[in-house]
Amino acid sequence: MIAREIGSFFAALRFLTRLPGPRGLGAGADGLEGSALYFPLVGVLVGAIGAAVALPAATFWPHNVAILLSMGATIVVTGAFHEDGLADAADGFGGGWTREDILRIMKDSRVGPFGVVGLVLVLLTKFALLDSVASPGRLAALMISGHAASRLAPVILIYTLDYARDDAGKAKAVANRRTSGRLALAGLFGCAPSLALRPGTALAALAFCLGFAALAGRFFNRRLGGYTGDCLGATQQITEVAFYLGATCGAFS
């Protein structure tokens, strides 16, 4: 039981990032079963890497340069996995009218104008929001909690929606072993890091994040009848921005 859960964690780590894990643990398609539970914990690690780059970099370069370096570090660590999903989803929903068209466009490896514009807007908004946080401690807490909560959002979609494609992709495999208990534990992993923020800030950030996740899920379900891997990547990126929007809103921060 414990060995299986450890394997699931390392499967999630391999799935969402380029970070290596112990050989054999969580390897293969079977290892992905139940790994969605640990997506928020992987987010904690990715956010911590971003903070570990931003804080020392800010002592040598301007604050905005440190933020860019930290964003670059998280993109390298994840292999632009979520950003790729965002671009594909933007192209699919921007250029497709029918369910079949959207799914076909999202399968195309080429990036179109909707994907480019969507990706640039999201990254610029993320940069601007993080750059507005001057306190090093608050910035580190915001990065870690934002990455964790935004990786809870796709888990909610996995647990509440059907997989929209006919093929048995990796995004479908992670949906196996879905139970309410595992979803609740994922919620704990995703929300607990926000305790490092002020209570009002944390509540606003989580409300924005989970609210956008609910809207995304409703949109995907209406247009596709479920989710795809690209939808999950897009959800992570959008809800990470939403988390920062809530945390930096003047009414709560």
Kindly report, residue by residue over 151-176, the tens digit of the pLDDT: 999 999 999 999 998 876 666 677 66
pLDDT at 252: 60
pLDDT at 27: 58
Encoding tokens for residue 207?
């409300």
* Cα separation, 102 vs 111, whole angstroms: 14
CA distances from 175 to 159, 189, 215, 228 (A): 7, 17, 20, 11
pLDDT at 30: 60
pLDDT at 25: 66
> Which residues fall within 8 angstroms of residue 189, CB to CB, at 6 or more apart?
37, 38, 40, 41, 44, 148, 152
* Cα separation, 245 vs 129, whole angstroms: 7
- Domain spans, the chain: 2-248
pLDDT at 58: 96
Please list the rounded mean pLDDT of every run of 10 residues in the chain (253 residues). 86 93 65 88 98 97 98 98 97 95 93 96 98 95 98 96 82 72 96 97 98 98 96 98 94 58
